[in-house]
Amino acid sequence: MGKRTAKKVLLIGWDAADWKVINPLMDKGEMPTLEKLVNNGVMGNLATLDPPLSPMLWTSIATGKRADKHGVLGFTEPNKKTGGVGPVLSTSRKVKAIWNILTQHNLKTHVIGWWPGHPAEPINGISISNFYQRAKAPMDKPWPMMPGTVHPEKMNELFASLRIHPDELTEAHILPFVPKAGEIDQEKDKRIGMLSKIIADCSTIHSATTYVMENEEWDFLAVYYDAIDHFCHGFMKFHPPQLKGIPDDLFDQYKDIVTAGYKFHDMMLERLINLAGPDTTVILVSDHGFHSDHLRPLSLPKFPAAPALEHSPYGIICMKGNHIKKDERIYGASLLDITPTILTLFGLPVAEDMDGHPLINIFEQEIKPEKINSWEDISGECGMHTVLTNEGHEINQDTLNQLVELGY
């Protein structure tokens, strides 16, 4: 093993986060936590892959490999049990993710909400699937979690109690996003309901994450937030400057949502960094950006995955920690480089069959990562599902409906 430079690593995923939106907010002092992270670490663009389909991209982030190697190709996949179609599952991944490699080295590892992450993997720590936060029933009805949502299973009841239902949100939660919400006829305009669901889902992931950080030991924690992507797909067309064809009243009502969504994430980031402590290396990434300027399409063609046309080719990367440069820019980073970099932080070798490379230019001192042929050749318990499990293979209609609503 090489030299371990990170005591702990916190990997935070913000789907679709884009510097083109972030930088003006930081300049105005409206994302102070991220601004501090940037000033005390390194930042840059993170090149995405084509096609920019989130499950494929987040699996590449977690493995350092392209889709032809890791096996996750899109949002859905054939369901061999039913003969129909179901959401893509963690069992589609053919190679070890970073949390499997760390499990093999007995490092305490937690993964929350990663996409695809169902069924939850039996790693050396807590694993919570991306089906965890979905509300499928009215608040006064039973709200069971799907089998396989939480590992270890004995923590099901605890994490079920931490979920937040959209109907729990009050006017105080909605007004920062839509100050004129009281003027909207919600019987005719369902956008407030859609917004409430995004906020509740995001808050549920954050609730579980902060619980784990406060109550469990950990060496590595990865958490995935999809809310920025949902805010943008639903409301970027109302973001300033006003696009031609957007009615004045709708622009006036919904113009603040994207900005408020980013500011909300900055608040959550502050909590995560405070809980992580000063000795933790923090890595914030997005899988792609999102067009926020004149490149925004006013409408989308009607074909599968058309919303991916709203994605831009560069996401964000920001890192800070001991032994990492401060107030520096990095160039040429790809989302394939994240797992090799995390392995280097833990002093573990990078596999030759990974398509990415460690970002060695982020370190204050020269580091020479060790290499092995492949982590797939290393035997031992790693927390992957060794056989195809039936958990989650029934069609999750709520998840499919959400993909339909987004246009995928």
Residue 364 neighbours by CB distance under 10 Å:
12
Which neighbouring-strand residues pair with 11? 222, 283
How would DSSP label each residue in 113-156?
S-SS--SPP--SS-EE-TTTT---S-TTS--PPPTTSEESGGGH
Residue of 1, 10, 4, 3 lying closest to 210 (CA atoms): 10
Whether 262 contacts 31, CB under 8 Å: yes
Q: What's residue 297's pLDDT?
A: 84
Q: What's residue 408's pLDDT?
A: 46
Q: What's residue 76's pLDDT?
A: 86
Domain ranges of the chain: 8-336+377-406
Q: Quote the pTM value.
A: 0.94
Task: Tell me how far apart the alpha carbons of residues 61 and 287 are, in angstroms, rounded to a whole number.
Answer: 8
In CATH terms, 8-336+377-406 corresponds, of 3.40.720.10, 2.60.120.620, 3.40.50.620, 2.60.40.10, to 3.40.720.10
Place of tokens 């937030």: 225
- What does the pLDDT profile of the chain (408 residues) look like in tens digits? 788 999 999 999 999 999 999 999 999 999 999 999 999 999 999 999 999 999 999 999 999 999 999 999 998 888 777 788 888 999 999 999 999 999 999 999 999 999 999 999 999 999 999 999 987 788 888 899 999 999 999 999 999 999 999 999 999 999 999 999 999 998 899 999 999 999 999 999 999 999 999 999 999 999 999 999 999 999 999 999 999 999 999 999 999 999 999 999 999 999 999 999 999 999 999 999 999 998 888 788 887 778 889 999 999 999 999 999 999 999 999 999 999 999 999 999 999 999 999 999 999 999 999 999 999 999 999 999 975 554 444 545 666 565 555 444
Q: What's residue 28's pLDDT?
A: 98
